[in-house]
Amino acid sequence: MFLAVIGFITISAQYATAQTPDPTTDQTVQQEIPIHQQLKTKFIEGGAGFMASVLLCLIFGLAIAIERIIYLNMASTNTDKLLKSIEEAYATGGIEAAKEICRNTRGPVASIFYQGLSRVDEGIDVVEKSVVSYGSIQMSLLENGLSWIQLFISVAPMLGFLGTVIGMIGAFDAIQAAGDISPNIVAGGIKVALITTVGGLIVAIILQFFYNYLVSKIDSIVVSMEDASISLIDILVKAKK
């Protein structure tokens, strides 16, 4: 009898151990979930409508930012090398040779130089005004698209906050329908509501980094344009003497 009781206790302990979940095992299973699957789950929990709107802000913002990065990298010019080539060509082949150098060089600096060299016969003052006027046009082209990135940076968090407010309203409706303040209802509703805010803030932070990089890149090109334009005027003045 005693042996039977001992055997029953042993079997019960083994069964309880088999049925009791191992925290380490659960943690391992959670860690094995791919990151894209976790993001997909959070995306669905946040609400497809608002999360899709936030995602579109990210996609469009990144598309414009990448296009601007490519454009600005192509617009960058080695101004020292260009000025040296123009000065040598102007000294040996005249104004047409210098203009040919500008035509074969890409970038806003070469375009500004070409406009200035095209009006050398009208005087240095006209050349200077032409360089300044065309420089403003080139600056506008460099800044093209930045306003859209700013728009997406502002809109993404607002869409997230709007989704949060609507989610909170849904949570309070669930509380009212249940007739009791259940921790599960409150916590679940608030968690889902805040996911949209997190998504909007993440999108805004990502686009803000790209925006600041583009602004610094444009400032660098503009400074280079202004410095090179002054050097071009000096070259033309020396050539006239």
Q: Which residue has the higher pLDDT, 170 or 66?
A: 66
pLDDT value of residue 3: 37
- Domain with 236, as residue range(s), is 75-143+229-240
Domain count, the chain: 1
Look at residue 48 and tell me if it is in a domain. Answer: no
Q: Which residue has the higher pLDDT, 91 or 181?
A: 91
Look at residue 136 and tell me if it is in a domain. Answer: yes
CA torsion, ordered 186, 188, 192, 194, to nearest 10 deg: 50
Look at residue 127 and tell me if it is in a domain. Answer: yes
Length of the chain: 241
**Cα(19)–Cα(26) distance, integer angstroms:** 13
Q: Which residue has the higher pLDDT, 234 or 172?
A: 234
Look at residue 235 and tell me if it is in a domain. Answer: yes
Can you say how many angstroms the Cα of residue 171 is from the centroid of all Cα atoms in its chain? Answer: 33
pLDDT value of residue 67: 93
State which of 24-33, 55-64, 166-175 shows the largest mean pLDDT: 55-64
Contacts with 131 (C-beta within 8 Å, 6 or more apart), sequence order = 112, 113, 115, 116, 229, 232, 233
**Cα(172)–Cα(189) distance, integer angstroms:** 8
pLDDT value of residue 121: 78
pLDDT value of residue 189: 63
Q: Which residue has the higher pLDDT, 25 or 136?
A: 136
Q: What is the mean pLDDT of the chain?
A: 76
Q: Is the pLDDT of residue 179 over 70?
A: no
Q: Is the pLDDT of residue 18 over 70?
A: no
Q: Is the pLDDT of residue 24 over 60?
A: no
**Cα(198)–Cα(131) distance, integer angstroms:** 47
pTM for this prediction: 0.72
Look at residue 168 and tell me if it is in a domain. Answer: no
Q: Is the pLDDT of residue 177 over 60?
A: yes
pLDDT value of residue 2: 36
Between helix 108-117 and helix 124-142 the angle, nearest 10°, is 160
pLDDT value of residue 226: 85
**Cα(142)–Cα(137) distance, integer angstroms:** 9
When pLDDT is averaged across residues 106-127 and rounded to a whole number, the result is: 83
Q: Distance of CA 106 to CAs 33, 109, 112, 238, Å? A: 49, 8, 11, 26
**Cα(52)–Cα(75) distance, integer angstroms:** 34
State which of 20-29, 111-120, 164-173 shows the largest mean pLDDT: 111-120
State which of 1-5, 40-44, 69-73 shows the largest mean pLDDT: 69-73
Look at residue 109 and tell me if it is in a domain. Answer: yes
When pLDDT is averaged across residues 196-225 and rounded to a whole number, the result is: 90
Q: b/e for 60-90, b at 16 or more Cβ within 10 A?
A: bbbebbeebeeebeebebebeebbebbbebb
Look at residue 112 and tell me if it is in a domain. Answer: yes
Q: Using 50, 70 and 90 to split pLDDT, how confident is the model at 25?
A: very low
**Cα(149)–Cα(156) distance, integer angstroms:** 11
Look at residue 108 and tell me if it is in a domain. Answer: yes
